[in-house]
Amino acid sequence: MKSAAKYLAASALFGLMSVTTLSPSAMAQTIGPGGETATPSAEVVVGADSLEAIRGAGYKAALLWHDQSDFVNAVSAGARDEFDRLGIEVVATTSAGFDAAKQRSDIETSLAKEPNIILSLPLDPVTSAAAFKEARDGGVSLVFLSNLPAGYEHPRDYAAIVTDDLFQMGKQAADALASAMGGKGTVGWIYHDADYYVTNQRDNAFKTTIENDYPDISIVAEQGISDPARAEEIANAMLLKNPDLGGIYVTWAGPAEGVLAALRANGNKTTKIVTLDLSEPVALDMVRGGNVAAIVADEAYELGRAMAAAAALRLAGKDVPPFVTAPAITVTADTVQEGWKKSLNIDAPASVSSAQ
Amino acid sequence: MTTIAARLQRLDLQRSVIYLGFLAIFLFFAITLHGDGFLTSRNLTNIVLQTAPATIMAIGLVFALSAGEIDLSFGSVVAVSALSAAVAMQSYPMAVGVLAGLGAGALIGAINGVLVAYLRLPSFLVTLATMGLFAGIARSMTDLRSIPVLNDTFTGIFGSGSLFSVPSLVIWTVVAVAIGHIVYRNTRFGAHVLATGDNARAAQVSGIKVPRIRLGVLMLCGTMAGLAGLLYAGRLQAAKYTLGESDLMTVIAAVIVGGTALNGGKGSIIGALLGSLLMGMLNNGLILMGLDVSDQMIVRGLIILIAVAVSLRDASR
């Protein structure tokens, strides 16, 4: 559900404003709300020239998240570690539980601690425009995760947006599934049937990559999903019509668990699955040599580190790139330990480690 | 001294617990967060602003519980009302938006009321069902999209503005609590509500139109939730299907901690106000203390548990 929650937050307006450019060769990249080129997060670094000034300034930061999840924990950990390095105190941490009104209250409350920096995922571009106004007008260095309040302009209103490299996530999922299928066969495409920027970009990047880069693989079944709980019945119907499916792409790990259940119930050990974002049950099947071929994840810890660095650079008077993306990583049975650590900054669950 | 001691003995612990609890928690935060901005007028005003919609909903719920009914659907009403108003104001003047918002709340309250009062279905089950029904309708109304509210007069009156430097949400809170308190304590309707909740059969025999009272309290609950929806829409300058979703437990806890009996016949509007402010103060203070989110939830849950336990334990004596 981590991913479902994340997607709900990364909602429509940013999607309307942002564009993923696609070409026949599937070489593409995500560009920012004002058409900005994505800057790799590795380039957003507080150098020695700014470090001492920042450390001596006594800056304070607030982490105002949309929800709680292992993804948010990893982003927070990345931000906190970077803030520690920079001598910046984290004075407030909140979770809005996907409640736009609570997010506004959290912002107001945290402003009593007079933070110089706010890192946040605006729940919704429309509702968050008013919510962040007071902080913006007060000169707080704002760095947003994945979403942008409507009408906010860089660099006047915010320091940076940091997000996943969405196109790469979908593309790497396609590459991983194609590799597992030996570059040929039929595929089922289970996409998120909703107007959400993050999932739409990733799903479409998968489809485009298969269609353009793998001529011997054809997508023979397409089915949207809006309720992850219905994944099993959707997969059952798909398998009934296409019993020889070589692979299934599932939009994120929550519904992938349902698809896995359907494959097991059918005694199917040959159809490969790829999905996005780490999940213990899905990873367990992968390391046990089951249907799951690969999981593509984002580098949540790196997202947090880059957010903290961008905010501090802004306070130091440095130019900050407006649109920053953290890389995607493909996790397979062989790389599950490193992948988990790199994505979420925690060890892989014991069940996954012991099954290897 | 004897008089004071006698008065203290007569002191109703249940009625006092909210005042004592409120004071204790306020003092605790005032002392521990002395240098962290808790006592600034800005922060204290924020607490009132942030709790205004919950306070408005709590007033409606006091009437419903006092009549021996419950409304679980008011969180969904908030979203339907806010979206109705926002959508209406895209094409029509502000008055139409306000009427749409309040009307949606009153209509849903009336549906609940008819099912409970005239078909004699339990309000718990009816409003549990309509909670889901209208949550679904709120989601489908705009395909999950948020609707901006660009009418400055509306946002000024319902959330973002002020009159003589007093924020409009503070005014709404004071006016609603004052009217609610007077109606609850000093009108025939208020007396009939309490009589119905205390013993519906006896109330019926004594000439009170019990079904009409039941319909009335549930319509009032819906209308107050509708007003809360307008306040959210004004404050956020937008409406979204998630508005009000997380208020159900907060408002019920505020009302119970404030001294309203779950099984009817007893309640307090002022208590509900203090209960609501208490919830807001807990959220505010625990954030300013710098606790991480999980710890905030644990501490808040424990404090509410203690407050509710003290309230209900004394009520059962």
Q: In angstroms, what separates the C-alpha of A102 from chain B's closest C-alpha?
A: 8
List, for residues A277-328, the tens digit of each pLDDT value: 998 889 999 999 999 999 999 999 999 999 999 999 999 999 999 999 999 9
Domain assignment of residue A142, given as a range: 2-164+300-326
**Interface predicted TM-score (ipTM) of this complex, two decimals:** 0.82
List, for residues A223-266, the tens digit of each pLDDT value: 998 777 889 999 999 998 898 999 999 999 889 999 999 999 88
Q: In angstroms, what separates the C-alpha of A246 from chain B's closest C-alpha?
A: 34
User: Which one of A100, A114, A194 has the shortest CB-CB distance to B236?
Assistant: A100
- CA nearest to A66 within chain B: B293
User: Which one of A108, A114, A129 has the shortest CB-CB distance to B46?
Assistant: A108
Q: Could you tell me which of A302, A295, A290, A292 has the C-alpha nearest to residue A343?
A: A302
- Output the CA torsion sign for A201, A203, A205, A211: negative
List, for residues A79-88, the tens digit of each pLDDT value: 999 999 999 9
Task: Please check whether residues A207 and A351 belong to one and the same domain.
Answer: yes
Q: Is A124 on the interface with B (CB under 8 A)?
A: yes
Task: Please check whether residues A53 and A15 belong to one and the same domain.
Answer: yes
Residue-level pLDDT at B103:
98
Q: Tell me which H or E stretch contains A219.
A: strand A217-225
Structure tokens at B162: 């002020």
Q: Which residues 158-217 on chain A approach chain B with CB closer than 8 angstroms?
A: 194-195
Mean pLDDT value across chain B: 91
Task: Please check whether residues A144 and A12 belong to one and the same domain.
Answer: yes
User: Which one of B147, B242, B290 has the shortest CB-CB distance to A100?
Assistant: B242
Residue-level pLDDT at A6:
46
pTM to 2 decimal places: 0.82
Residue-level pLDDT at A33:
67
User: Which one of A97, A98, A112 has the shortest CB-CB distance to B288?
Assistant: A112
Distance between CA atoms of residues A143 and A200, nearest Å:
23
**CB-defined contacts A:B, below 8 A:** 97
Tell me how far apart the terminal alpha carbons of chain A are, to the nearest angstrom.
25
The stretch B12-21 carries a mean pLDDT of: 74
- Cβ–Cβ gap B242/A99 under 8 Å: yes
Residue-level pLDDT at A144:
96
Residue A27 has pLDDT above 60, yes or no: no
Structural domains counted in chain B: 1
- Cβ–Cβ gap B288/A92 under 8 Å: yes
List, for residues B267-288, the tens digit of each pLDDT value: 999 999 999 999 999 999 999 9
Residue-level pLDDT at A229:
80
List, for residues B237-260, the tens digit of each pLDDT value: 999 998 998 899 999 999 999 989
B127 DSSP assignment: H
Q: Which amino acid is at A47?
A: G
Residue-level pLDDT at B316:
54
B-chain residues within 8 Å CB-CB of A101? 53, 232, 235-236, 243
Residue B15 has pLDDT above 80, yes or no: no
Query: Per the omega criterion (within 30 degrees of 0), is the bond before A155 cis?
Result: yes
Residue-level pLDDT at A125:
84
Interface of B with A (CB under 8 A): 36-38, 40, 42-43, 46, 49-50, 53, 143-148, 160, 232, 235-238, 240, 242-243, 245-246, 283-284, 287-288, 290-294, 296
Whether the CB-CB separation of A86 and A313 falls below 8 Å is answered with no
Residue-level pLDDT at B16:
77
Residue-level pLDDT at A198:
78
Task: Please check whether residues A271 and A345 belong to one and the same domain.
Answer: yes
Q: Is A131 on the interface with B (CB under 8 A)?
A: yes
Concatenate the DSSP letters of all residues of A24-85 into one string: TT---EEE-TTSPBPEEGGG----HHHHHHHHTTT-EEEEEES--SHHHHHHHHHHHHHHHH
Residue A71 has pLDDT above 90, yes or no: no
pLDDT bin (cut points 50, 70, 90) of residue A145 is very high
pLDDT bin (cut points 50, 70, 90) of residue A124 is confident
Residue-level pLDDT at A19:
36
The stretch B8-12 carries a mean pLDDT of: 56
Residue A8 has pLDDT above 70, yes or no: no
Whether the CB-CB separation of A307 and A118 falls below 8 Å is answered with no
Residue B76 has pLDDT above 50, yes or no: yes
**Would you call A19 helix, strand, or coil by DSSP?**
strand
Q: Which amino acid is at A259?
A: V
Task: Please check whether residues A10 and A147 belong to one and the same domain.
Answer: yes
What phi and psi values does residue B31 have, to the nearest 5 degrees?
A: -80, -50
Residue A89 has pLDDT above 80, yes or no: yes
Percent of chain A, pLDDT > 70? 91
Query: CATH number of the domain that A196 lies in?
Result: 3.40.50.2300
> What residues are paired with A326 via a beta bridge?
A164
B-chain residues within 8 Å CB-CB of A77? none
Task: Please check whether residues A210 and A87 belong to one and the same domain.
Answer: no
- Cβ–Cβ gap B146/A125 under 8 Å: yes
pLDDT bin (cut points 50, 70, 90) of residue B142 is confident
For residue B286, being part of any structural domain is answered with: yes
Q: Is A77 on the interface with B (CB under 8 A)?
A: no
**Angle of the B41-66 helix axis to the A100-111 helix axis, nearest 10:** 150
Task: Please check whether residues A138 and A185 belong to one and the same domain.
Answer: no
Task: Please check whether residues A159 and A39 belong to one and the same domain.
Answer: yes
What residue ranges in chain B does DSSP mark as E strands?
147-148, 162-163, 166-167, 238-239
Concatenate the DSSP letters of all residues of B156-199 into one string: IIIII-EETTEEHHHHHHHHHHHHHHHHHHHSHHHHHHHHHHH-
Residue-level pLDDT at A23:
31
Burial of B206 (0-12, 13-18, 19+ CB in 10 A): exposed
A 10 A CB-CB count for B8 gives 8
Residue A353 has pLDDT above 80, yes or no: yes
Domain assignment of residue B81, given as a range: 13-315
Residue-level pLDDT at B156:
94
Q: Tell me which H or E stretch contains A174.
A: helix A166-180
Q: Tell me which H or E stretch contains B225.
A: helix B210-236
Task: Please check whether residues A139 and A106 belong to one and the same domain.
Answer: yes
Distance between CA atoms of residues A172 and A298, nearest Å:
11
Residue with the two structure tokens 């019509």: A241
Distance between CA atoms of residues A63 and A354, nearest Å:
35
Residue with the two structure tokens 């790389």: A335
Residue with the two structure tokens 């709300």: A33
Task: Please check whether residues A32 and A105 belong to one and the same domain.
Answer: yes
Among A29-33, A346-350, B134-138, the minimum mean pLDDT is found in: A29-33
For residue B3, being part of any structural domain is answered with: no
Task: Please check whether residues A306 and A247 belong to one and the same domain.
Answer: no
List, for residues A31-64, the tens digit of each pLDDT value: 776 677 899 999 999 999 999 999 999 999 999 9
Distance between CA atoms of residues A123 and B156, nearest Å:
23
Query: CATH number of the domain that B247 lies in?
Result: 1.10.3470
Structural domains counted in chain A: 2
Residue A356 has pLDDT above 80, yes or no: no
- Cβ–Cβ gap B238/A104 under 8 Å: no
Q: Could you tell me which of A110, A36, A66, A7 has the C-alpha nearest to residue A323?
A: A36
For residue B5, being part of any structural domain is answered with: no
Structure tokens at B238: 């937008």
The stretch A142-152 carries a mean pLDDT of: 92
